[in-house]
Structure 1
Amino acid sequence: MRNRLTELLGIRYPIVQAPMSWIARSRLASAVSNAGGLGIIETSSGRLDEVREEVRKMKSLTDRPWGMNIAQAFVRDPDIVSFVVDQGVRFVTTSAGDPGKYCDALKSRGLTVFHVVPSLAAAEKAVAAGVDGLVVEGAEGGGFKSSREVFTMVLLPLVASRVNVPIIAAGGIADGRSMAAAFALGAEGVQMGTRMVAASESPVHQNWKNAIVNARETDTVFLNRHGTGPALRALRTGKTTQYEVEPPGNIMSEFDHAHKLYFGGDMEASIAVTGQVMGRIDSVKPVAEILQDTMIEFETVITGLAQRNGLGPDPLCASG
């Protein structure tokens, strides 16, 4: 498949893996890149020494394109731009902060920069700052969110109607059908988070993967809407059900125990950031199978839509 995004990033499939703290490391990211998508290495954990080691592993695991994320609210290292550039990466997403803070510095070093946005105003600000593209993230997605949530069905076509840069859609994407919907709304690529948490190569404990597979679409909570710090969408557990009504004074302190949940399997130890799309995920699969199935279903769906409406096959789709 060829479009502006695949040409810009040098990838086979316009599918990007979300930069999830502690999860978006070399094992998962290399699997995505090797399967034809774009793997991302996170920095939001703030563990830059660990991230440096993951980058070293990444280079030994794939020769395909990959990228990194700078989550500005969580990584306050004043040398983060130099850190990212020194890793030899060519693509960066910036998030959780001012799109202009690092854009010029990154682009002047030859990197392609996309910024993650939760609203039209944020998208227009990012484009004005000079970013090469956007990750437009609907509020149904897992992780940290704007407290004034807007969902993909509204946000994506709104932003697409006002900007002329490539858009990666995030929030609610797990397969070819949802990818086709995102393209119909104006995207040229998609980002998958929760679907990748439940991939075979995901490093999280099997308890979290099982929780995703067994969940309903109603089994997330939107936390900290009115508290200090970011809002977030997470898996419904005993802890998060309580926090939905009585949020802690500092929601971020809950992630001090993230490793006990993420890798130890204690689902009440911390907060499992997870999107509503888990209600559509019914199995744990290898990344290569996820991407292949997604592209096959994507082509089937858009071709079927065209044929049902008497438009013939879609000229943009080419298997291979």
Structure 2
Amino acid sequence: MKKHTFEDRSHFTTTINRKTRNMEWNKNRINQLFNTEFPVIQAGMIWASGWKLASAVSNAGGLGLIGAGSMYPDTLLHHIRQCKAATNKPFGVNLPLLYPDIEQHVEHIVREKVPVVFTSAGNPKTWTSVLKAEGIKVVHVVSSAKFAIKSQDAGVDAVVAEGFEAGGHNGREETTTMCLIPNVRQAIHLPLIAAGGIATGRQMMAALILGAEGVQVGSRFVCSEEASSHVHFKNAVKDAREGDTQLTLKELTPVRLIKNRFYQEVQDAYQRCAGKEELNELLGRARAKKGMFEGELDEGELEIGQVSALINDILPAAEIVKNMWTEFEEATRQPFLWDTKDTASI
């Protein structure tokens, strides 16, 4: 397979042009794929990404995703129908492939003609052809170039490369976004979306320079007014500082969360060399719901990314999209990006 080097970027339709400083965003492959105004995707997070958030982001010009991972099939159906009523813009569903209700989830998605599905936590070959046969755009989330290639071979339309900084369940490779995006960019020719550690326009700018064509944003949208997560959890995210999150439970499913009493119980279990069975018992059921949806900050699992240290307020989702895009455009005008000798011809 040919590697697509940074010198050979002819197949990428969005570039930072020295001569014009303008982005031809109608030619951006992510915008073309999803029919969006901005290549900003709101992550489909469990206990946070319901129809209110997804529709708000889509109405603001990005792509909103409903997080099916925390929903029974009938609940997902309700959120899809509410989202369709709240926006005439494209939206999607994030669909973890490991859950037992996956077939019913897919039935609802197909019947309701959801235009976009992001899959994760499973083999993309399982459902990609089924969804694409119904005219649905399929994107798979990966944590390595190896899995990006497998996703491309499975026929997906785009790939999300999610780095070690991301909140919630994460890859075992522990590759940061700074290293992951160039690796994946060289490995595949598909449209590439960066995720993990992205909450500002400047971070979006960095992701695109590394080779991504769009960004998926999670933690920043947790602290949106429309997110269904509990206000206690939103405030905990808003108050988080550097070093307040940790990736743990790698023996089960790696997860990045805020250090709290539950996290300390996990660390104590490690100190006594607990096995998988004890860790599973400690994790139990509904820890994430307890923490993120019900607001139990001590005993709950508080999944969030490292970028929470940059989040200081709770805003409407549309304002988050607008702020990111405004900051991104300002970043493209910074003089260090261009040779000042060329400015006379701009």
What TM-score do you get using the length of structure 2 for normalisation?
Answer: 0.85
**Superposed CA offset, 1:14-44 (max 9, x none):** 1111111122111111111111111111221
Q: Secondary structure at the match of 1:115?
A: strand
* Residue 166 (str. 1) matches residue 191 (str. 2): yes
Q: Secondary structure at the match of 2:286?
A: helix
How many angstroms apart in 2 are the aligned matches of 1:103 and 1:65? 19
Q: Secondary structure at the match of 1:93?
A: strand
Q: Alpha-carbon deviation of 1:86?
A: 1.2
Q: Alpha-carbon deviation of 1:83?
A: 2.5
Q: Secondary structure at the match of 1:283?
A: coil
Question: Which of 246, 260, 281 does residue 290 from structure 2 map onto?
Answer: 260
Question: Which of 305, 323, 326 does residue 293 from structure 1 map onto?
Answer: 323
8 Å contact kept, 2:145–2:180: yes
* Residue 273 (str. 1) matches residue 303 (str. 2): yes
**Superposed CA offset, 1:53-96 (max 9, x none):** 11111111111110112201134433443232112111111110
Report the counterpart of residue 318 of structure 1 in structure 2. Answer: none
Report the counterpart of residue 124 of structure 1 in structure 2. Answer: 149
Report the counterpart of residue 16 of structure 1 in structure 2. Answer: 41
Question: Which of 242, 247, 251 does residue 222 from structure 1 map onto?
Answer: 247
Q: Secondary structure at the match of 1:202?
A: coil
Structure 1 residues 130 and 210, CA gap change in structure 2 (3 angstroms):
same
Report the counterpart of residue 255 of structure 2 in structure 1. Answer: 232
Aligned length: 312
What TM-score do you get using the length of structure 1 for normalisation?
Answer: 0.92
8 Å contact kept, 2:76–2:105: no
How many angstroms apart in 2 are the aligned matches of 1:47 and 1:67? 17
How many angstroms apart in 1 are the aligned matches of 2:100 and 2:164? 22
Q: Alpha-carbon deviation of 1:245?
A: 4.8
8 Å contact kept, 2:269–2:279: no
Report the counterpart of residue 141 of structure 1 in structure 2. Answer: 166
Structure 1 residues 75 and 93, CA gap change in structure 2 (3 angstroms):
farther
Q: Which moved more, 1:94-103 or 1:78-87?
A: 78-87
Question: Which of 265, 273, 292 does residue 242 from structure 1 map onto?
Answer: 265
Report the counterpart of residue 179 of structure 1 in structure 2. Answer: 204
How many angstroms apart in 2 are the aligned matches of 1:44 and 1:252? 21
Structure 1 residues 101 and 311, CA gap change in structure 2 (3 angstroms):
farther
How many angstroms apart in 2 are the aligned matches of 1:76 and 1:208? 27
* Residue 64 (str. 1) matches residue 84 (str. 2): no
Give every structure 1 segment of 4 or more consecutive aligned residues whose post-TM-superposition deviation is greater than 6 Å: none
Structure 1 residues 245 and 60, CA gap change in structure 2 (3 angstroms):
same
Report the counterpart of residue 10 of structure 2 in structure 1. Answer: none
8 Å contact kept, 2:166–2:256: yes
**Superposed CA offset, 1:285-305 (max 9, x none):** 111111111111111112214
8 Å contact kept, 1:43–1:75: no
8 Å contact kept, 1:224–1:251: no
Q: Secondary structure at the match of 1:63?
A: coil
The higher radius of gyration belongs to: 2
What is the letter of the counterpart of residue 141 of structure 2?
Answer: V
**Superposed CA offset, 1:178-211 (max 9, x none):** 0000001111111111100011211222221111
* Structure 2: 5+ residue stretches without partners: 1-24, 271-277
